[in-house]
Amino acid sequence: MCKINFDFLISHAKVYGFIFPSSEIYGGLNAVYDYGPHGVELKNNIKKFWWKSMTQLHENIIGLDSSIIMHSDVWHASGHVDKFNELLIDNKDSKKRYRPEILIQEYVEKNFLNNPKKKEEILSRLFQSLQNQNLGELKILIDELCICDPIFKTKNWTEIRHFNMMYKIKNEKDLYLRPETAQGIFSNFHNILKSTRIKIPFGIAQIGKSFRNEIFARKFIFRMREFEQMEMQYFILPEEEIKWYEYWRKNRLKWHLELNLENKQSYKLCDHDHLAHYENVGSDIEFHFPFGFKEIEGIHSRRDFDLKNHEFFSKKKLRIFESKRNYIPYVIETSLGLDRLFLAIFSSSLKKEKLKNGKIRVVLKFPYYLSPIQAAIFPLVRKDGLPEIAKKIFYDLKIHHRLVYDEKESIGKLYRRQDAIGTPFCFTVDYDTIKTDTVTMRNRDSMKQKRIYIKEISNIIEQETGLKKIFKKLSYFI
Ligand code: GAP
């Protein structure tokens, strides 16, 4: 196995139609990306997998699709107008913006590798300043350490200030693009209670776009300005907060492990020591991306923070009334970044393998059920009636499965192309097909081939690449 570097990964994603830089013909746009023909299939499969895991496997979790633009009071009630801020520092020469805590962290990582005591001392000062929101002390740290602009190498810094990360809609007083999908769930809490017969504990799941004006947007699709979240808010009795928080922490980690990316060591559960404005306790599931361990999903106890504030701002009752009790439920939230999960799956699946003949093959070893294309159908040669048989198989089966038909190159090149986009199976029609009604079936990972009957193809695709197998496993721990 040969090592893959991050630039190669980005280039592979573009060349094979997974991810394109947005507006590329106009020079691109920082931290915004488009999903190409294979990218959108993979993304839709991930969404379907998460959605069904949440709503189909849990009978008490239901779905919602709320709007991106909401009443401005939603964001006052949720605390995002006042508190959804990052710290910001500008370099007056390069005119670039940075997050001061990241400048300090990166400086310390680079310069005090062999001096753990000094590193510890600076990180502890950084932590204290962040905890106390002491912006003056943060600036002193930057000056003391003589931290320069990474590009211009000058120390001509502005003061540090707060910067709200929501995108305001121009010409619309006080309207924003949503920075999290969760508020659509809280503001529909009453409608959902009234329109269903769901009882506590229950969850509401949603997949949708969120927008954040990220100052420090980089690392490909890891941190974007427009991204998608897959969130679930679980409404519970207040006295059961810790029980359900622990349940969802474990349940979500198990779900990630079942994806079987790399190995168990690729995941970490980390408790938050810096809490978001809405959470009482929280943790992150971190994944080992090509640039190190980083957050992929957050699990937060939001208690009654959101519903209580929406009650206050809307003057509507957002409560549960049951057996002489009247209360605002607590909420445990699971919040997964769809694009980050995409990157985790893509980066851990992309392999360069040295073959016996010394050549290198590039292969995307996606979990079968997530692959953009489930199977490819080829004729061995473009003559003697083989394309006609292969096309018939393709037309008969394409209503059931995500398939491609290809005959444009030699069989070896057709296999390599399917490897590079992660297709688990290739079925080839050859001269024996005419006599025996069989085709060769080639497996992406082992590259081994065997003969099967044409009538078996559909079942094999369904069994090997459908969601049934993985759902059977998942349903054991739900
Ligand atoms: N509702 C809670 C919430 O939004 P968060 O930790 O800010 O919590 C949840 O975000 C998840 O959304 C993160 O774990 C990450 O996967 C994803 N996410 C957040 N900001 C992102 C960005 N700028 N680009 C891509 N994904 C992002």
The CATH number for 132's domain is 3.30.40.230
Q: Of 131, 164, 197, at which residue does a domain stop?
A: 164
Nearest CA among 215, 217, 98, 105 for reference residue 160 = 98
Residue owning the nearest CA to atom 9 of ligand 1: 335
Residue 435 covered by a domain: yes
377 and 457 share a domain? Answer: yes
Domain presence at residue 351: no
Give me ligand 1 centre to Cα 282, in Å.
Answer: 13
At residue 162, the pLDDT reads: 94
In this structure, the answer to whether residues 308 and 339 fall within a common structural domain is yes
- Band of pLDDT at residue 275, cut at 50, 70 and 90: confident
Q: Read off the CATH number of the domain in which 298 is found.
A: 3.30.930.10
Q: In terms of domains, do 451 and 317 share one? A: no
Query: Given a cut of 80, is residue 2 above it in pLDDT?
Result: no
Separation of CA 399 and ligand 1 centre (Å): 36
- Do 272 and 394 have their domain in common? no
Beta strands in 94-160 (DSSP E): 97-98
**What is the number of residues in the chain?**
478
Encode pLDDT of 81-105 as tens digits: 999 999 999 999 999 899 999 899 9
Substitution candidate for ligand 1 out of 248, 295, 345 with most atoms within 8 A of CB: 295
Can you tell me which atom of ligand 1 is nearest the CA of 296? Answer: 16
Which of 346, 374, 404 is at the close of a domain?
346
Grade residue 202 by pLDDT with cuts at 50, 70 and 90.
very high
Q: Is residue 1 part of a domain?
A: no
CA nearest 413: which of 378, 445, 454, 449? 378
- Lowest mean per-residue pLDDT among 75-79, 323-327, 330-334: 323-327
Mean of pLDDT values over 232-241: 97
Any domain includes 357: no
Report d(CA 119, CA 107) in Å as an integer.
10
pLDDT of residue 477 exceeding 70, the answer is no
Inside any domain, residue 65: yes
The arithmetic mean of pLDDT across residues 199-210, rounded, is 97
Q: Could you tell me if 413 and 380 lie in one domain?
A: yes
Confidence category of residue 323, pLDDT binned at 50, 70, 90: confident
Beta bridge partners of 331: 235, 303
pLDDT-derived band of residue 131, with 50, 70 and 90 as boundaries? confident
- Average of per-residue pLDDT across 14-36: 96
pLDDT surpasses 90 at 64: yes
Please, what is the end-to-end C-alpha distance for the chain in angstroms? Answer: 36
Q: Is the CB of 339 under 6 A from ligand 1?
A: yes
Average pLDDT over the chain, rounded to whole? Answer: 95
**CA 41 vs CA 75, 96, 372: distances in Å:** 33, 36, 5
Q: Are residues 188 and 284 in the same domain?
A: yes
This prediction has a pTM of 0.94
187 and 59 inside one domain: yes
Across residues 414-439, what is the average pLDDT? Answer: 98
pLDDT at residue 233 tops 70: yes
Closest among 1, 2, 9 to 350, alpha carbons compared: 9
Whose Cα sits closest to atom 25 in ligand 1? 223
**Separation between Cα atoms, residue 218 and residue 444, nearest integer Å:** 32
Instruction: Specify whether the CB–CB gap between 196 and 166 falls below 8 A.
Output: no
CATH code for the domain in which residue 439 is found: 3.40.50.800
Q: Are residues 301 and 450 in the same domain?
A: no
Average pLDDT over residues 186-190: 97
Note whether residue 447 is domain-resident: yes
CA pair distance 94, 150, nearest whole angstrom:
9
For the segment 183-193, the average pLDDT, to the nearest whole number, is 97
Q: Residues 220-238: what's their mean pLDDT?
A: 97
pLDDT band at 263 (very low <50, low <70, confident <90, very high): confident
> Is the CB of residue 107 below 6 angstroms from any atom belonging to ligand 1?
no
Q: What is the mean pLDDT of residues 210-224?
A: 90
CB-ligand 1 contact for 340 (6 Å cutoff): yes
| Residues 208, 65 contacting (CB under 8 angstroms) | yes
Instruction: Kindly provide the b/e burial profile for residues 1-28, where b requires at least 16 CB atoms within 10 angstroms of the residue's own CB.
Output: eeeeeeeebbebbbebbbbebbeeeeee
The mean pLDDT of 15-29, rounded to a whole number, is 97
**Average pLDDT score over residue span 435-453:** 98
For 274, other C-beta atoms within 10 Å of its C-beta total 9
Domain count, the chain: 3
Torsion sign across C-alpha atoms 187, 191, 192, 198: positive
Q: Is the model's pLDDT at 341 over the cut of 90?
A: yes
Q: What is the pLDDT of residue 81?
A: 95
The verdict on residue 358 lying in a domain is: no
Buried b (16+ CB within 10 A) or exposed e, 215-242: beeebbbbbbbbbbbbbbbbbbbeeebe
Residue 445 CB neighbours (<10 A): 12
Q: Is the pLDDT of residue 217 over 90?
A: no
- List the domain range (segments joined by +) for residue 25: 6-81+165-346
Residue 85 in 3-state DSSP?
Answer: strand
pLDDT > 80? residue 329: yes
| Helix H or strand E encompassing 332 | strand 330-337
Query: 441 is written with which tokens?
Result: 């079936």
Are residues 134 and 267 both part of a single domain? no
Question: CA–CA separation, 385 vs 405, rounded Å?
Answer: 15
**Domain closes at, from 164, 181, 206:** 164
Q: Are residues 74 and 139 in the same domain?
A: no
Q: In terms of domains, do 340 and 211 share one? A: yes
One domain for residues 321 and 377? no
Euclidean distance between CA atoms 389 and 436, whole angstroms = 13
Whether residue 300 is predicted with pLDDT greater than 80 in this model: the reply is yes
Is 78's C-beta closer than 6 angstroms to any atom of ligand 1?
no
What pLDDT score does 46 carry? Answer: 98
Residue 262 lies in a domain: yes
176 has a pLDDT exceeding 70:
yes
Structure confidence at residue 262 (pLDDT): 77
